[in-house]
Chain A
Amino acid sequence: MSDSEFEYDSAGSYVYESDDGGSGDDGEGPASAASPPQRDAPVAAALPAAAAHAPAAAAAQGRRLGGPAPAPAPPLSGSASLGASDSAGSASRSRLAVVSQLYGEQGKDYRVFGPDAVRAEIAAVVRDVASVLEVAADDAEAMLLSCSWDKQRLLERFTERPEQVRAGAGLAKAGSRGAGAAEVDGPEADCPVCFASVPASEMASLACGHGACRECWGEYLSGQLRSRAAEAVEAVCMESDCSCIVPHAFVRHVGLAAARGSDPMALLTSWDRSLCRHFVEHSRRLRWCPGSGCDKAFQAVSAGRDVECESCGSAFCLGCGRGAHRPVSCSMLSSWLEKCEDESETANWIIVNTKRCPKCGVRIEKNQGCMHMKCGVCKHEFCWVCTGDWAMHGQKTGGYYACNRYTGQKTQGRGVPGSRPGKKGAGASALDKDAEENLAKAELDRYLFYYQRYSGHMRAGTFAAGQRERAQQRMAEVAAEGLAWVEVDFLEQGTEVLLACRRVLQFTYVMAYFMADGREKSLFEHLQELLEGSTEELSELLERPLEEMDRRQVVNFTRVTAKFLSQLLEGVDEGLVDGASGAGAASSAASSAASSAAAEEAAAAKPGGAKSTSPSGKRKPTDRARQRLRAAR
């Protein structure tokens, strides 16, 4: 950030006009007179950013109307939002547009503040409070500091017990002397901090009257700024056991003396910065962008909302400040993370020390030396090393312990091939045998099933993030060959969609973990399946060498995948999960129908000879799912 951003300019110096911390009347006059232009300036400055978002938001809105509507025709028209701009060839289209389409569907119900806008916001609230309570601006600021910048709460409390509020904020009783020059008898005084004799004019004190020289004050305040960051603005008098607060104007008063030839505004500037930090960090509705070095503050209207910072690209949740986590809610994510923390040790132990019986799937811990295992549940005999049938181990296979040789296709420790314990059907029946005894184990297996997929997408997401840079490089390469930017930005868009999908998929497993079995979950899993399949395809396409890449194919898959993504998110938003209410079921049925249309489109997107084999682990829609779809239509 350039220093100019923090300059203590006309916009910043707002209400602190009176140098010697004068009374409320002095400070109020010019401040309220000058208020309209000051207030408008930051709003106007913020407008371009909001305007830049408008088209994307409008496009998203269009898709939202078209997507899950009950009418059969609209779903296909939804693709126009991505497809049209793609063919329109507008070079100004940035990656942010892609993401805002994915994440901006709820409409932009939040505001973004730069450093200047934050300062203006502080000035506005201080001015409001000062004029309503008829106190000096600095007193208003101190009281706001002491109650987390909650204007409403302050006004209520102040009306009830003004003196208590003032005392709590470290302010002297109303009507006592202000901070500034200290009262000194004689031309010189001894500073109680540095013990030097200084001219009386150099002595300064807060409202409490405890004097010290301006240089000591400056040193004290810089020390507070260094060690306490945002909380430095809550600094109190240097005297032992004195809780008198340091007002903003006093900082200016001592700032010049502290500078000692360096930037005379340095102290005030960093004080100002700390004040902004305090304001953002303590206000309940504001939150810093978590991106490192990013100075944007976000104001949320509603909690629990994923946003992407326009200036640094960090995607995060306005509600809890953690990384973006749609479609799960903040509280659901908290329970999941707590669970992960609790279970991680157990899960690790199980993965390290146990294997599944290759026949019945029960978890077995090996507690003796021999590799010849006999399952306690189904009596199946197998080899611990390769989990193969023990009957196949003998002289004809080259000795009992030939299986310690690496053959490259061992499935050690991977459990029963093809069994999916968490999913109804396969694998579950075996566990049901001894239901009561195995309940705890089954629950753990269920957790592990979701956890493995959750962490799998998390890792894939990290990898995809690395691809982002490579995509940029490739774009530069291609552009160097003389192609227009619009010809290559499909790469970037594809990568962005891939990243968003990985993130959402990661959290869909958290959601699925907490969902009760039933129709809603089946529909959710169907949407998840479609998205996962399409994401894998896209991921594979994007990893190909540039010369083998088919632009049209990537564009198609980007479009289709983005559509699956928005369908899943919309489905969840519109009550796919929250009880099988009539409306929820209808809308999920609609989005399910829409997704089948998209699936057809996906099939059409695959060119005849193109590689359409999916990775081995990829799930295909089951017959049951197809039946459900038919029913839904």
Chain B
Amino acid sequence: MAGLSVRIVKETEKLHTDPVPGITATPFEDNLRHFNVTIEGAEETPYAGGIFRLELFLPAEYPMAPPKVRFITKMYHPNINRLGLICLDILKDKWSPALQIRTVLLSIQALLAAPNPDDPLNNEAAELWKSDEAEAVRIAADYTRRFATG
């Protein structure tokens, strides 16, 4: 699997020519399997107004194996831990070769809008989300203001 597959080239082109609203993904020049990603927080969520940076890496087995994605921007979210690792089924056992970079990033954007505190990666945030959602939302918005703007 030396070099870049047709699929990766085509996906990269399409991300450039037909970008998903609120999402950018550009490969780094030194490694075309390594992407610099930004996702805008959706309105009416504690992440609104923030621009979150992520990195995405396509392993050699891609698309038979899922891409590796993590947040670089500090987040307060029950399914994202301090290292920025994301708990999302399609990045693990529910991966399908028919999914793409585009669909993965859309799923992550949706995860920001709909946290799932019952399947936590950040226990502290998940517990607060369940016991006092207003406070949790306030902290998340605070994180967004401090780390994801400007």
Residues of A within 8 A of B (CB): 192-196, 210, 212, 216, 219-220, 223, 238-242
**Total A-B pairs in contact (CB under 8 Å)?**
39
Q: Does B96 contact A (CB under 8 A)?
A: yes
Among candidates A194, A223, A238, residue contacting B6 with C-beta atoms closer than 8 Å: A194
Contacts of A212 in B (CB 8 A): 97-98
Contacts of B90 in A (CB 8 A): 240
A205 to chain B, nearest CB (A): 12
Contacts of B7 in A (CB 8 A): 193-196
Q: For the complex, give the distance between the alpha carbons of A140 and B70 in Å.
A: 43
B117 to chain A, nearest CB (A): 23
Q: For the complex, give the distance between the alpha carbons of A195 and B96 in Å.
A: 15
Q: For the complex, give the distance between the alpha carbons of A216 and B98 in Å.
A: 11
B96 closest partner in A (C-beta):
A240
A236 closest partner in B (C-beta):
B96
Contacts of B11 in A (CB 8 A): 195
Chain B, interface size: which category?
A: 10 to 19
Among candidates A192, A223, A239, A241, residue contacting B64 with C-beta atoms closer than 8 Å: A223
B6 pairs with A195, CB closer than 8 A? yes
A3 to chain B, nearest CB (A): 26
B95 closest partner in A (C-beta):
A240
A196 pairs with B98, CB closer than 8 A? no
Question: Given known contacts A219-B64, A223-B64, is B98 in contact with A192 (CB within 8 Å)?
Answer: yes
Among candidates B6, B94, B97, residue contacting A220 with C-beta atoms closer than 8 Å: B97
Ranked 7 nearest A-B pairs via Cβ: A240-B96, A195-B7, A223-B64, A195-B10, A238-B97, A193-B97, A239-B98
Among candidates A196, A223, A239, residue contacting B96 with C-beta atoms closer than 8 Å: A239
Scoring A195, A210, A212 by chain B CB atoms within 10 A of each residue's CB, the highest score goes to A195
Dominant secondary structure of chain A at its interface with chain B: loop
Residues of B within 8 A of A (CB): 5-7, 10-11, 61, 63-65, 90, 94, 96-99, 103
B81 to chain A, nearest CB (A): 25
B96 pairs with A194, CB closer than 8 A? no
A194 pairs with B5, CB closer than 8 A? yes
B65 to chain A, nearest CB (A): 7
B30 to chain A, nearest CB (A): 24
A241 pairs with B97, CB closer than 8 A? no
B61 to chain A, nearest CB (A): 7
B61 pairs with A240, CB closer than 8 A? no
B98 pairs with A193, CB closer than 8 A? yes
Q: For the complex, give the distance between the alpha carbons of A20 and B144 in Å.
A: 56
B96 pairs with A241, CB closer than 8 A? yes
A239 to chain B, nearest CB (A): 5
B5 pairs with A223, CB closer than 8 A? no
Contacts of A219 in B (CB 8 A): 64
B17 to chain A, nearest CB (A): 14
Contacts of A238 in B (CB 8 A): 96-98
B52 to chain A, nearest CB (A): 24
A219 closest partner in B (C-beta):
B64
Of the A-B pairs whose beta carbons lie under 8 Å apart in the complex, a sample of 28, sorted by A's number, is A192-B98, A193-B98, A194-B5, A194-B6, A194-B63, A195-B6, A195-B7, A196-B6, A212-B97, A212-B98, A216-B97, A219-B64, A223-B61, A223-B64, A223-B65, A238-B96, A238-B97, A238-B98, A239-B96, A239-B98, A240-B94, A240-B96, A240-B98, A240-B99, A240-B103, A241-B94, A241-B96, A242-B96
